[in-house]
Amino acid sequence: MIYIRLKDGSQREYPEGISLLQVAESISSKMAKFAVVAVFNGQITDLNAMVHEDGELEIINFEDDRARLVYRHSSSHIMAQAVKRLWPKTKFAIGPAIDKGFYYDFDTDHTFTPEDFKLIEKEMESIIKSDYPFVRKELSRKDALQYFADRDEDYKVELIQDLPEDAVIGLYQQGEFVDLCKGPHVSSTGKLKAVKIMSLAGAYWRGSENNKMLQRIYATSFPKQAMLDDYLNKLEEAKKRDHRKLGKELGLFVLLDEGPGFPFFLPKGMVLRNELEQYWRLQHQKAGYQEIRTPIILNTEIWHRSGHWDHYKDNMYFTKIDEEDYAIKPMNCPGGILVYKQNLHSYRELPIRTGEMGLVHRHEMSGVLHGLMRVRAFTQDDAHIFMLPEQIIDEIKGVMNLIDLFYKQFGFSYHVELSTRPENSMGSQEVWDMATDALKLALEERSMPYKINEGDGAFYGPKIDFHLQDSLDRTWQCGTIQLDFQMPEKFDLTYIGEDGEKHRPVMIHRVIYGSMERFIGILIEHFAGAFPTWLAPVQVRVLPITERQHDYTETIIARLRDEGIRIEVDKRSEKIGYKIREGQLQKIPYLLVIGDKEIEANAVAVRHRKEGDLGAQGLDEFIAMIKTEITDKIIR
């Protein structure tokens, strides 16, 4: 007999050789029905796997990120099986799960077209209906090479050749189809419910243009048709909210051939940007930060010393001044460090919190540029905190509180990931462990759930990343907190301790908006261009019905401007219905219609872009209402 401990702490006894799916069925038929995969003794494992030892078991369903990856990887095998049935001479490369879906790369004489999508989906549905079990097999490297060579699967052979001589090679079979794979997979093809092929693309084998171009089919899958329908609806909504389209329509920014990757902000875009920066400065002043400004060009020596040269030189821009080499900064931290070094600091001064809206440049490849989301010049709301070792936890929690304040202000929920030491990092493992443990402790003391993102830390230290969720359930990595013991060492940063001796401070690098440009792009799509009144470039547009109301209109405009309200007027000789529609298309929060009745009543007819006609109001009443909405930063 074996003993299995469940997530709730209970323990059950089972006969040796029982499958994990049978264990799930013994616990709850509902659990087994929706189970995707198991986690046994910390390893993600097939539900069909037999258990021969004691252990801890967690059964996870599609709501878990780990299960979604397994579900969609299994979906890619089913798509490959369908393609093999339809075009038997196809050769197979790789088919991983990705965010929101999966793909598979194929080598075939048949040229896929969108007209093939329905054929493939229909065959996938047949495979799903057949409910073939996913059966794992293991071969030696030699036998696996022979197996795939006999089937003329060149790409699989190449993948196996890269593995060690003593490697055990995993294969998975469903029905007649066998694929090279380490797994795990769902228990059977019938676990899939709703599939949709999304698009086609070309992809070089192993990402190298020296290799053959393959055909890549992208698709997605969900355990319920309603979930797929919701996803597809949100994709359509995302197209309507594309920040590049809305940015142009609303006059916020443009991207020009004269400066690819270097956005031009227009007057209305600058209003939005300035409001965000003003809010940033207000909250940072309250939180004890001092604002600085550092140069965008510094001597290359500083980038060698900081370590950025080894990690970022391929993405940096360079120039010569007085025959010396200089670089345009890709990061703000060396400048912030030089500011700290201008004075001798006492332990009584720490923590010192400095922040800047720092313009940085990075040489991104043209193929990855995307509106404001991926640019070559952007402004980071960078801050650097220099502190005593015993202040680390409180300072990290203070930054978490500030990030929480900002994201809630815009209506964003978020989740947190802790990124650990990457391969090309600086410093000893001991220092990295100390820094990582400090971040973990701060997260736990603040009772903030988090997941580990192995190997994705900065080259100088581990970090906490904040992934905000927008109104279309998409996630964006924006805020980050990086704990750094390396830079203070490299730049010989010191403070005078209570003992009168020099000591080394610890450093935090952090951003909240992240990139101002990217955050603005996210806001445009999150609000579909209909910004809260406090952020809206134009808060009120006045619409006189005829020329008779122009004098009264000027009085209203003057009064609103005196109150600091951003206002436009539409005096065109167009019908009032047309003017209203124009104002709604421009996403202006309030339209004030002025006719003879409004003049007689010394009032304005108020229309809200979302709530429609609010009726006539006295001007003082309207001003009081909108100023409260602006001051309190209300989202209606």
Task: Determine the Cα–Cα distance for residues 526 and 609; give it in Å rounded to an integer.
Answer: 16
Question: Which residue shows structure tokens 């929060």?
Answer: 589
Is 409 among the catalytic positions? Answer: no
Q: Per-residue b/e over 382-395, b at no fewer than 16 CB within 10 Å?
A: bbbbbbbeebbbeb
Is 478 among the catalytic positions? Answer: no
Q: Which residues is 60 bridged to in the sheet?
A: 37
Is 374 among the catalytic positions? Answer: no
CA proximity to 144, closest of 182, 106, 180, 175: 180
Is 84 among the catalytic positions? Answer: no
Of 72, 241, 509, 526, which residue is the catalytic one? 509
Q: Per-residue b/e over 329-368, b at no fewer than 16 CB within 10 Å?
A: bbbbbbbbbebbeeeebeeeebbbbbbbbbbbbbebeeee
Tokens of 126: 């047949």
Is 305 among the catalytic positions? Answer: no
Q: What DSSP letter does each residue of 120-149 carry, written as one string?
A: HHHHHHHHHHHT-B-EEEEEEHHHHHHHHH
Of 174, 215, 380, 539, which residue is the catalytic one? 380
Collapsing DSSP to helix, strand or coil, 340 comes out as helix
Tokens of 584: 């709604």
Burial class (CB in 10 A: 0-12, 13-18, 19+), 200: middle
Task: Determine the Cα–Cα distance for residues 567 and 533; give it in Å rounded to an integer.
Answer: 12
Of 68, 353, 362, 566, which residue is the catalytic one? 362
Of 382, 465, 470, 484, which residue is the catalytic one? 382
Of 463, 510, 518, 587, which residue is the catalytic one? 463
How far lies 270's CA from each of 132, 276, 278, 382, in Å? Answer: 58, 10, 12, 20
Task: Determine the Cα–Cα distance for residues 378 and 358; give it in Å rounded to an integer.
Answer: 8
Is 609 among the catalytic positions? Answer: no
Task: Determine the Cα–Cα distance for residues 73 and 95; give it in Å rounded to an integer.
Answer: 7
Is 384 among the catalytic positions? Answer: yes
Of 81, 333, 566, 609, which residue is the catalytic one? 333
- Residues with catalytic roles: 333, 362, 380, 382, 384, 463, 509
